[in-house]
Structure 1
Amino acid sequence: MERRDIEIFLTLAEELHFARTAERLGVSGARVSQTIKQLERRFGVALFQRTSRQVALTPVGNALREDVQAGYQRIQEGIAKAVAAGRGFTGTLRVGFSSPLVGEAIMAAGETFRARHPDCEVRIREVHLSEAFRALRDDELDLQITELPVQENDLSSGPALLRDPRMLAVSARHPFARRDSVTVEDLARDTVLVPADAPAYLLDTLIPPQTPGGRPIQREKVLTSRQELLTLVSGGAGMAVVGGQATRYHARPDIVYVPIVGMPPIEYGPVWPVGGQTSRVRSFLALLLAELDRQSFLLAGLDR
């Protein structure tokens, strides 16, 4: 049964009057009569008893109404909730970030969002690259600001919101620690620690498998948080390609951050489930963009 057929059947079962059913649903009386006749032909049994004076449900029609009513009500409630979530600013907006550079702006945008929409709670959490998009897929997040590109069939992404110059994190005892800069070719001279379980295309964007000169870059995957990664670097287990934000948020006496010449900056942008760009998400992104502008971050690829 189509949704409209169910509506006509259930309304007639309640009104027991063709004209009132048509008026209530905003359709013609002929449409109501035709729909019921089609259903009866499909089922091979009468659903209503009709006389010149009254309309009544048959036993089969009454049983069908009882079976259909509860399920149809749940469908209607689900649709209403989806519409409310898409149009309104109630409930909870869950936002994830993979970088403290983005996290700082997200926190500020969240405060503004709460002030404007007090009926909508904002929850913010960090997401590690080792988990990539798990939280989005498990319906734990509505929006994530993360490293680009994103090439997932079930996820949509927006343009880059900001860029962060790449740097090489090395132990203070490493030979590169005395350098003013390094090149991409230098990445082939030691092990580069990378997050485990990150999508291959994203990993290749962040740290290519070989240098422009064709030398292989030895990448070692470690399932680790950012702090654990830096601890491994400080202990001499390898190097790590990071954003320049590390000098602000992760300054350590046992680690030196050396600029990498010849590599494009790391780009960060919004990601959400396909079909999940609600008005709440759009409003939050607008506030986040305004906050990034206020903080004078380097913006890229934005349609103002």
Structure 2
Amino acid sequence: MELRDIEIFLTLAEELHFGRTAERLHVSPARISQAIKKQERTLGAALFERTSRQVSLTPAGRRFRDDLLPGYRRIQEAIAKATAAGHGITGTLRVGFSAAWCGNLIVKAADVFNARHPGCDVRIQELPLNDGFALLRARELDLQLTELPAGEPDVITGPTVFSTPRALVVPAGHPFAARSSVSLEDLADVRLITVIGPPRYWLDFHLPSHTPAGRPIPRGPATVAWQEVLSLVGAGKGVCPTSALAADYYSRPDLAFVPFRDAPPIDYALLWPPTGQTPKVSAFVQTLLTVAGRHG
């Protein structure tokens, strides 16, 4: 089995979607399907279960993925090291993050990256909530890890690093705080704290104006900073959707984080300028993906 075939299998095992896998690898869905069928014939075992609605790994597929991943990551690391040696990865790499959990992962990746490339200094900076693309556009950052969607024509969306379920942060004394979960339809019965500045498509996904059934969602105060969002929620001025990971990073006695049972997850991806895929950026991307895999 060639390295490209291994890459196709592992990418499909991560995405569980032929279209997204093809998009990431810049090939057609038919090419992905042909490669998987060839692998299954060679191995004599089905690796994926396919229905009209979903793709999932078979037990044999899960074992194959778990056996391949360590070796594939070592190959990626070896390629990154060889690239660094050939191109001289030095200077400064400026990396941004949009949430504390993204920053935590970037710090871990930076430690690994610095050990491999001691001549390159990684500087890490938090992104403003109200304009998550400003620093990238101003070339004050080389790379950032942020939540999707990111439909900007002058920004390249790289690989998705991880996804998280969503939760609703509410005042600790709110009736929703006693629930085990909430629905997107419940947003019609509360006031939503909103953010000033992000593009409309971003707001529609994270802070929608209507429920899936079309009911309007009342608006509460608007702000430009995450800590202000939490303070407004704690003061009883409204509620706000966020990542479920926020409960681990922003726990406060005046707040409660209630999981959504029907909201789509939040994907976090790497972004860079159109001309920004330099050897330094490519090497850090590979390091970050490896570190993210090790930490689940």
TM-score, normalised on structure 1? 0.67
Q: Distance in 1 between matches of 2:205 and 2:191?
A: 17
Q: Do the aligned partners of residues 141 and 221 (structure 1) sit closer, same or farther apart at CA in structure 2, a change above 3 Å counting?
A: farther
Match of 1:240?
240
Give the secondary-structure state (helix, strand or coil) at the position aligned to 1:213: coil
What is the rounded CA distance, in whole Å, between the counterparts of 2:87 and 2:272 in structure 1? Answer: 17
CA separation of 1:141 and 1:220: change in aligned 2, threshold 3 A: farther
1:118, CA displacement in angstroms? 1.2
**1:250-274: CA deviation from partner (whole Å, max 9, x where unpaired):** 1111101111111111110011111
SS at match of 2:269: strand
Counterpart in 2 of 1:49? Answer: none
Following superposition, the deviation at residue 220 of structure 1 comes to 4.2
- Determine the structure 2 residue equivalent to 1:270: 270
- The aligned residue for residue 209 of structure 1 is 209
Residue 184 of structure 1 aligns with which residue? 184
Name the aligned partner's letter for residue 110 of structure 1.
A
Q: Work out whether residues 132 and 197 of structure 1, in 8 Å CA contact, stay in contact via their aligned partners in 2.
A: no
SS in 2 for 1:160: strand
Name the residue aligned to 1:255.
Answer: 255
- 2:164 matched residue in structure 1: 164
- Whose radius of gyration is greater, 1 or 2? 1
- Do the aligned residues in 2 keep the contact of 1:196 with 1:221 (CA within 8 Å)? no
RMSD value over aligned CA atoms? 1.6
Q: Which residue of 2 aligns with 1:286?
A: 286
SS in 1 for 2:251: coil
**Regions of 4+ moved over 4 Å:** none
Q: In the alignment, what sits opposite 1:153?
A: 153
1:269-288 deviation digits (Å, cap 9, x = unpaired): 01111111111111111111
Which amino acid in the other structure matches residue 243 of structure 2?
G
Aligned counterpart, 2:97: 97
Q: Is the 8 A contact 2:220 2:237 kept in 1?
A: no
Report the counterpart of residue 38 of structure 1 in structure 2: none
- Partner residue, 2:20: none
Question: What is the deviation of 1:217?
Answer: 1.5
The 1-side partners of 2:175 and 2:221 are apart by 23
Separation in structure 1 between the aligned mates of residue 180 and residue 139 of structure 2, nearest angstrom: 44
Shift of 1:173: 1.5
How many Å separate the matches in 2 of 1:96 and 1:179?
Answer: 35
Q: Cα distance, 1:221 vs. partner?
A: 5.9
CA distance 1:231–1:283, shift in 2 (3 Å) = same
Aligned residue for 2:224, secondary structure, equals coil
Structure 1 unpaired stretches of 5+: 1-83, 297-304
5+ residue gaps, structure 2, are: 1-83
Deviation at 1:205, TM superposition (A): 1.4
TM-score by length of 2: 0.69
Identity %: 46
Q: Structure 1 146/175 Cα, relative in aligned 2: closer, same or farther at 3 Å?
A: same
Matches for 1:1-304 after TM superposition, within 5 Å: 87-220=87-220, 222-296=222-296
Contact 1:168 1:260 survives alignment (8 Å): yes
Letter of the 1:187 counterpart: L
Letter in 2 for 1:91: G
Indicate if the aligned counterparts of 2:129 and 2:224 stay in contact, CA closer than 8 A.
Answer: no
SS in structure 1 at match of 2:194: strand
Residue identity matched to 1:237: K
- Equivalenced residue count is 212
SS at structure 2 position matched to 1:158: strand
Q: For 1:139 and 1:221, how far apart are their aligned partners in 2?
A: 32
Q: Which amino acid aligns with 1:294?
A: R
Amino acid in structure 2 at the alignment position of 1:97: F
Residues 147-181 of structure 1 show CA distances to partners (whole Å, capped at 9, x for unaligned) of: 11211111111132111110000001111111111
Task: Report SS of the residue matched to 1:182.
Answer: coil
Displacement, 1:245?
A: 0.9
